[in-house]
Amino acid sequence: MAWTWLHRFGSPPHFYRVAGKLIPWFAWPAAVLIAVGLVWGLVIAPPDALQSDAYRVIYVHVPNAWLSLMAYTVMAVAAGVGLIWRIKVGHAVAVAIAPVGAMFTAVALVTGMLWGEPTWGTWWVWDPRLVFELVLLFFFMGYSALRGAIEDPDRADRASALLAIVGVVNVPLVHYSVVIWRSVHQGSTVFRSGGPAMPASMLWPLLVAALGYTFFFGAILLLRARAEVLNRERSGSWLAQLAED
């Protein structure tokens, strides 16, 4: 198999340049789609028959929860690429994702509490969906903590990559927890058999916001990975040129 494209993209100067060119293509759609999705959900979408305006928390809760899973999966794949093919940029991308992933997860958890209190009557329950999402936060934080505890950069890369890969089993557990176990948390609204369980007037702003968050994740990932790639470069002749771009 030809892995040359992977190695080419994995060359630090190439990655740094391409990432720099790609950022606006993620950042601008992100800004527009998130603004449109959130305002639409807040102002135009109709109130819910049972939850009235409390359900509007969904427009920030679901995109953050979706991105927490997406971010972890991409982090584990990037760390795996770094570990298996010894491509340094893979580790750099994983490092770049960890703090952002932790942020999405924390916001998903807290907005979930802010939704749970008025609708379930409690801020927190030890429910499978909530517990696995909390475990996801610990994996993001554990990844960064483990790196911080190992001084040798190569060893830190390998050990943290292993942790990231092991933790990926948690991702399907979060997603399918509401199907497998009897849960307080409501089931999937969008990706479920029989189609979305929401009228289009409520669903569209959610999809727009979620798409915007996905672009946002791309932009932040590239921005942070550029900084990480630059920090890792000690002596490359391209460094002088790049630092000026």
Partner 1 sequence: MADFLHMSGYAFYVWTSYALAVGALLLSVWRARRNLARARVAARRRVAMKGGQ
- Residue 98 to residue 82: CA distance in whole angstroms: 15
Give residue for tokens 């190569």.
Answer: 154
Tell whether residue 122 is a contact of partner 1 (CB under 8 A): no
Residue 180 class from Cβ within 10 Å (0-12 exposed, 13-18 middle, 19+ buried)? exposed
CB 59 within 8 A of CB 206: yes
Residues near 34 by beta carbon (within 8 Å), at least 6 away in sequence: 209, 212, 213, 216
Q: 57, 70, 164, 210: which one contacts partner 1 (CB under 8 A)?
A: 57
CB 82 within 8 A of CB 88: yes
Q: How far is the CB of 40 from partner 1 (least distance, A)?
A: 13
Q: 15, 66, 115, 143: which one contacts partner 1 (CB under 8 A)?
A: 115
Tell whether residue 38 is a contact of partner 1 (CB under 8 A): yes
Tell whether residue 36 is a contact of partner 1 (CB under 8 A): no
CB 168 within 8 A of CB 76: yes
Q: How far is the CB of 6 from partner 1 (least distance, A)?
A: 24
Tell whether residue 111 is a contact of partner 1 (CB under 8 A): yes
By C-beta, is 63 or 90 nearer to partner 1? 63
Give the torsion through C-alpha atoms of 201, 206, 207, 212, to 10 deg: 140
Q: 24, 25, 32, 53: which one contacts partner 1 (CB under 8 A)?
A: 53
Tell whether residue 107 is a contact of partner 1 (CB under 8 A): yes
Q: How far is the CB of 164 from partner 1 (least distance, A)?
A: 20
Q: How far is the CB of 55 from partner 1 (least distance, A)?
A: 9
Instruction: State the number of binding residues for partner 1 (CB under 8 A).
Output: 43
In three-state secondary structure terms, 153 is helix
For 40-152, where are the alpha helices, taking DSSP H only?
58-84, 88-120, 128-149
Q: Which residues bind partner 1 (CB under 8 A)?
A: 34, 38, 42-43, 47, 52-54, 56-57, 60-61, 63-64, 99-100, 103-104, 106-107, 110-111, 114-115, 117-118, 216, 220, 223-224, 226-228, 230-231, 233-235, 239-240, 242-244
